A and B are shown apart, each in its own frame.
Chain A
Amino acid sequence: MAEQQEGYQIDLGNLTAFDPQHQFQSIPDKREDLVKECITHATKLIQAVADSLFSLPSTEDASGPIVPLPQPTTKLPREKPLPKPAPPTKWEVFAKKKGIQNRKKDKLVFDEQTSSWKRRYGYDRVNDDNDVPIIEAKMTDEPGVDPFATRRSEKKQRVEKQEKNRLYNLKEAAKVGALPSHVQLAATALPITGTQAAPRKVSKDELQNVAGMAGTSTASGGKFDKKLAGEKPPKHDKKYRKFLPVVEGSGMGSLEKQQTDKILNKLMAKNSHEIFNVSKAVDMYNVKSDKKRRNQQGKSSAMSSKLKVKKSPYKNASKGSSKKGGSSSKGKSGSSSKGKSK
């Protein structure tokens, strides 16, 4: 029994007791008996836990004794990934370098003008820029300058500079993956992945395309959508279709006929090697043979132009063509027979 008690594994942080050595020699038939046995054994375990629990130093409180619990020993997995420490902001880096300490400021400041306590910022604040009725001119002021306008513009510049710095700090934090919890990046705020979305860098082209894609779902294809400053007009990668007018005007000729002719010619041109135009073939052959004869005659006439009788160049050609005309064969066979006849 004592050995068994020492064998209990007690995790105080979780208030757990585990008995790894218990074995059921024989399981009781009735369920109630089994349950009773379990409960009696559990009582012993819990008593052991309570022994160590009540021996911890306790502080008295109105509701009861409070005891500081130790850390739990059984490790359980986290539910969310560890937060990454954010990189120091621009100001923090500067302050550290200069050794500037952060001093806590009071919310109320004494205003000498009204001799009352006013807020440091917000409604009805001390040293409000807008409340000044008169600004005395300095020697350094140029005559054409409106000091109120300059004050306003300076404030605006300050605000913009601060905004720029804020965005820079956020960008730096986002690079590390340590964005503050209340800031989300719009492109990655999709519900499918968990808190740590894989930061897939969306390219500029993709972002532009997304806007264009949304536009194509409108009735006019996104042509008349209001564009933001800097947004380019939607890209049109496909061809523009041409539609013929319903009513033909004068002076053009039948546009529809022209369109169909064009298509037909294209088709015919593609398959022209299958379609054999006899007269065209004959003409082509004649021209070719004429050229050849002229060249040959030119050579032979250079040798002995006087001796040879000038034959009419067309006689043979007509003979040859008539022969060819008779037989509906291709040009090559014709040329071979022509050579023979000569």
Chain B
Amino acid sequence: VSLLLFNVKGWCLLGSPLAPPPSAAFIFWYIMLHIKTPKSLRAKRELEKRAPKLVEYGKKTLILHGTKTSNVLNAVLTEIYHLKKDNAVKYSRRNDNIRPFESGGETSLEFYSLKTDCSLFVYGSHSKKRPDNLVIGRTYDHHVYDLVEVGIENFKSMASFSYDKKIAPLIGSKPFFAFIGEGFENVEELKHLKEVLLDLFRGQVVKNLNLAGLDRVYVCTAVSSNKVLFTHCALRLKKSGTIVPRMELVEVGPSMDLVVRRHRLPDESLKKEAMKIAPELTKKKEKNVSKDAIVGKIGKIYVPDQEVGNASLPYKPKGVKRERREAKAKGESNNHAEKKQKQQDDDC
């Protein structure tokens, strides 16, 4: 007579031998103390957006002002914000404890930069010693990288220019840049300012550009060794005989004179680190390829050592298989039982 057991769900048999689970409490404690993961998918997406990437997308700008601002400065800050509406954050409250050029006065800036994920900042302040002062700075890893301090003179806002509204440039379009003057190459401060202005107004780095969407130009002219004339113009493309249209510039946006006051260049080591490009992106030299005049392109192939001894087989050799091992181990114990049953059958 053979035995058949039906284990119906819910009917618990006595003496269930369960393996004690590895201390879940310990793992839980470890997790609580060390690892923090976002609880919602949205938070996870936000964190991934802020993570460092191989190829960088676009820098965000933080616009804020200090203890005192003048009318001119207010207008400048709002206009810069309008020019960069897509990727800028403007703080409206005053910040008394920010002094970018002092060693202790940057912590607040760095904190804001971390919270808003902005790597460029424009800080405006007005004082008797430095009237209409604008500090444009960049951060690397949310620490101050470099700073340029400019004073603003002869400011003309966007509203003061009259032009045909149809050609007004749209927000987020990729701008042209025109740098005029030998000062931008010879004078160190102007060179720095050129780099910073380019970074500030560049927008995203794109691989493909739609030529119909080109409509703004930033014109920077080095008038003297410390003064730069900065203006923003709209583009009008006029028909010409060739494929290339004729460019026409119409002054549209804010126009101001930037007088360079102070500047701070980045540390050499920091600069080196910030300018690093991912090694995967650099073009690799093709190795083991040579050209022959007669045959053409020749390649050398080096066959690596086939470690036949260490290779793992896709299948398991017969003796190693678990079923076989188990059956063998149990075979000795079951042998007697089977024999007994057989005898019984024989009897029956």
Contacts and interface: CB of A to CB of B under 8 A. Distances in A.
Interface of A: 13-24, 27, 31, 34-35, 38-39, 41-43, 45-47, 49-51, 53-55, 58, 61, 63-69, 72, 74-83, 97-99, 132-137, 140-141, 143-150, 153, 156-157, 160, 163-164, 167, 170, 181-187, 189, 191-196, 207, 228-230
A132 B47 CA distance: 41
Interface string B79-102: 000000000000000000000000
Nearest to B110: A194
B342 interface: no
B53 A83 contact: yes
A189 B36 contact: yes
A17 B31 contact: no
A78 B249 contact: no
A184 B36 contact: yes
B298 interface: no
B244 interface: yes
A196 B5 CA distance: 61
Contact of A160 (B4, B21, B174, B231): B21
B199 A76 contact: yes
Most buried by A among B5, B47, B223, B330: B5
B288 interface: no
A71 B154 CA distance: 36
Contacts of A82: 52, 54, 276, 278
B6 interface: yes
A14 to B, nearest CB: 6
A280 to B, nearest CB: 64
B184 A18 contact: yes
A46 B249 contact: yes
For the complex of A and B, the 9 pairs showing the least CB-CB separation, nearest first, are A64-B212, A181-B51, A79-B119, A194-B142, A137-B5, A77-B274, A80-B52, A42-B178, A194-B141
Contact of B13 (A74, A144, A181): A144
B182 A186 contact: no
Interface residues of B, number: 110
Given A13-B205, A77-B145, A160 B34 contact: no
Interface stretch (B123-131, B162-170, B213-221): B213-221
A80 B278 CA distance: 12
Interface string B173-187: 011111111101100
A133 B9 contact: yes
B16 A144 contact: yes
A168 B343 CA distance: 55
A203 B36 CA distance: 19
A41 B247 CA distance: 12
B117 to A, nearest CB: 9
Contact of B211 (A13, A53, A191): A53
B11 to A, nearest CB: 8
A20 B220 CA distance: 12
A148 B7 contact: yes
Contacts of B217: 42, 46
Contacts of B330: 140
B56 interface: yes
Contacts of A149: 12, 16, 18
A153 B18 contact: yes
Contacts of B104: none
